[in-house]
Structure 1
Amino acid sequence: MHQGVMFALLAAALFGASTPFAKLLVGQVSPVMLAALLYLGSGAGLSLWYGLRRLRGNQGAAEGLRKADLPWLAAAILSGGIGGPLLLMFGLAQTPASSASLLLNMEGVLTALLAWFVFKENFDRRIALGMLVIVLAGVLLSWQQMPQFGLPWGPLAILAACLCWAIDNNLTRRISASDAVQIAALKGLVAGLVNLALALLLGASLPAIASIGAAALIGFGGYGLSLVLFVLALRHLGSARTGAYFSAAPFIGAAISLLLLQEAVGGLFWLAAALMAFGIWLHLTERHQHTHSHEEIEHGHRHSHDLHHQHEHDFEWDGREPHSHPHRHLPISHSHAHYPDIHHRHQH
């Protein structure tokens, strides 16, 4: 299995697993405060990881964010870490939970549409069909709750939140060659602090220490590590394909709920599972190959000296691979199977 696909599916598994575990805390912590603690657990845990790694010399780590990356990161945080959660909370206040669950499946669709038609990421009929099948599986999974829309402003706000996260995903792709831990840590801290401020303004209080610790641990795994893996998947697959694989998260969460919370499922669950598997199979069996040209580019990321990394070093190199340093790619034209990763963002 391709490395990027593994990253995306692991990210979906961690995020999907966080939902049923977070449900165990819903009765003890207000929803907004819980969101804040989940994000803060993610940001704090990853910041500690990042700091410890720097003390050890960042051996083998990707290059950190550059000055040119900061506007992209700021826009991604503003859209996905602030705008998305705020719009979602406004929408949830006016929309039945069943409808909200259905609408949240639009994030993957909007991510793909922006990637394809705004950011010009390549796709073909097989990829489009795979995305359609995966989204249909998510819709069926949510449809078991018999959604009924309320007033229009609530659903519109949730759709706007999905659009914010779709913009976030595509903007993060632009900086996905940089240190994934650093990116995810900053996103978690900012989103956590914003949600915490909002929770306190709404009159929520901090829960017991045990609940704080549990939420932080769930957030570190389901939001923090998941986001690190998501950024790595963006680096290898591009936005649309990563979003498609990540759409498996609701199914994974439902499967864990079945085991952990003893929730009953019907025939639609198994139909959704079959569709999800078919959609992922369509993506896994994609083979995109043609003659393409690489323009000259300079960036830094973890790499080995493969056909895309034939460069000299201006420092003493011990021959260890993979390694990370700023490097320049010279123009080259060749043909091989590839994804729209950080080295293949060419026009077709």
Structure 2
Amino acid sequence: MLGTEIYREGDTLRTMSRAGSLPPLTAAALWGGMYVVSKWGFAVIPPVTLAFLRVVLGGLTLFAVVRLTMPNRSFSRDDWKRFGVLGGWVALTLVTQFVGTDLTTASQGSLLTVLTPVFTLLLGVSILGESLSERKGTGMALAVVGTLIVLTGRYDFSTVGNGNLLGVLALFAASFGWAGYTVWGKPLVRTYSALETATYSTLASIPLVAVLVPFELAAVSFDASVTLPIVGAVLYLGVFSTAAAWFLWYRGLEELDAGVVAVFFFAQPVVGAVLGALLLSESLGPSFLAGGAVMALGVWVVSTAGE
């Protein structure tokens, strides 16, 4: 096994592979790619409708993979209820995230990146009984500071107090929703698998989001023209940033604490900035290098907190 180490979780010794950090890090990188995708025009679709398209594509992709690769399994009624609860967290997260992003400025939208790992760490401690060592707390604080430095170089934070209060509250709800999806999903991931848990929770979210779509379409006007960038953006959102990323995020939970997995979420804006520089000719200032270094240090501290 690559880089195996022994660490203590409560009073139990567990084996953790350093390779277990790769899946959630890859998931964060895929979410970072959404920044570039948004520049290519997917925002012309109303937010709730876009969230619906995203979970439909993501759910169908995951289901196809499950049927091809996993044995048929019978779930208990209680398990189906738990998948349904996760579907509720998914619906809450996506609807509030997309609505919040639509109503707020870019600087306000970045709150999602900073708050989600913090909420996840706190819920992991309070709901799952995960340990919160001084080292883990210090690492999380460093990652928050580093991420804020990176974001300051990309956004005008003098506008963070402007904009729509409802949008800001929606972003807070989205941050908490994804933390809930992470924490409440861990027992199912450990009982079954990351792939099955991601699949059935995503499928459970589809009708919950679908019921809101007709109301949105009746209330807003939008350009319904279909272009290649929009099709590509929707496909990226559904297949890569949903099906692949959500599976990889839960794959990290098969080995790591929710609080450890959460810290990799901070890589999202760093990847977004790098892709923006490579594909959109945006500049990377000194704040990116400084903030990225501090963030990376914080991620390393948290991910090795058990050593």
TM-score, normalisation: structure 2: 0.80
State how far apart, in whole Å, the 2-side matches of 1:94 and 1:22 are.
Answer: 15
Q: Which of residues 61, 85, 89 is equivalent to 1:75? A: 85
State how far apart, in whole Å, the 1-side matches of 2:156 and 2:232 are.
Answer: 35
**Higher relative contact order structure (alpha carbons within 8 Å, sequence separation ≥ 6):** 2
Q: Is the 8 A contact 2:112 2:172 kept in 1?
A: yes
In structure 2, do the counterparts of structure 1 residues 286 and 52 end up closer, same or farther at CA, with 3 Å as the change threshold? Answer: same
State how far apart, in whole Å, the 2-side matches of 1:128 and 1:252 are.
Answer: 24
State how far apart, in whole Å, the 2-side matches of 1:23 and 1:190 are.
Answer: 30
Deviations 1:260-314 (A, max 9, x none): 11122322211111112111221343335xxxxxxxxxxxxxxxxxxxxxxxxxx
Deviations 1:150-207 (A, max 9, x none): 3544323321221122112110112112132222223333445544553443225765
**Letter of the 2:226 counterpart:** A
In structure 2, do the counterparts of structure 1 residues 205 and 73 end up closer, same or farther at CA, with 3 Å as the change threshold? Answer: farther
Residues 1-348 of structure 1: matches in 2 within 5 Å? 1=3, 2-26=18-42, 29-54=45-70, 57=71, 65-79=75-89, 81-92=90-101, 94-144=103-153, 145-147=155-157, 148-150=160-162, 152-177=165-190, 178-192=192-206, 194-195=208-209, 197-203=211-217, 208=226, 210=228, 211-212=230-231, 214-288=233-307
**Letter of the 1:3 counterpart:** A
In structure 2, do the counterparts of structure 1 residues 130 and 92 end up closer, same or farther at CA, with 3 Å as the change threshold? Answer: same
Displacement after TM superposition at 1:66 (Å): 4.4
Q: Is the 8 A contact 1:18 1:221 kept in 2?
A: no
**Letter of the 1:254 counterpart:** A
Structure 2 unpaired stretches of 5+: 4-17
In structure 2, do the counterparts of structure 1 residues 167 and 209 end up closer, same or farther at CA, with 3 Å as the change threshold? Answer: same
In structure 2, do the counterparts of structure 1 residues 94 and 227 end up closer, same or farther at CA, with 3 Å as the change threshold? Answer: closer
RMSD between superposed Cα atoms in Å: 2.7
Question: How many residue pairs end up in the alignment?
Answer: 281
State how far apart, in whole Å, the 1-side matches of 2:168 and 2:234 are.
Answer: 27
From the two aligned structures, give the one with the greater helix fraction: 2
> Which of structures 1 and 2 has the bigger CA Rg?
1
State how far apart, in whole Å, the 1-side matches of 2:171 and 2:39 are.
Answer: 20
State how far apart, in whole Å, the 1-side matches of 2:200 and 2:253 are.
Answer: 17
In structure 2, do the counterparts of structure 1 residues 71 and 197 end up closer, same or farther at CA, with 3 Å as the change threshold? Answer: closer
Of 11-20 and 207-216, more deviation after overlay is shown by 207-216
1:315 aligned residue: none
Structure 1 unpaired stretches of 5+: 289-348
Displacement after TM superposition at 1:228 (Å): 0.8
Deviations 1:76-107 (A, max 9, x none): 2212x122233334534543232121344201
2:6 aligned residue: none
State how far apart, in whole Å, the 1-side matches of 2:74 and 2:193 are.
Answer: 5
State how far apart, in whole Å, the 2-side matches of 1:35 and 1:231 are.
Answer: 20
State how far apart, in whole Å, the 2-side matches of 1:94 and 1:25 are.
Answer: 17
Q: Is the 8 A contact 2:83 2:204 kept in 1?
A: no
**Letter of the 1:34 counterpart:** L
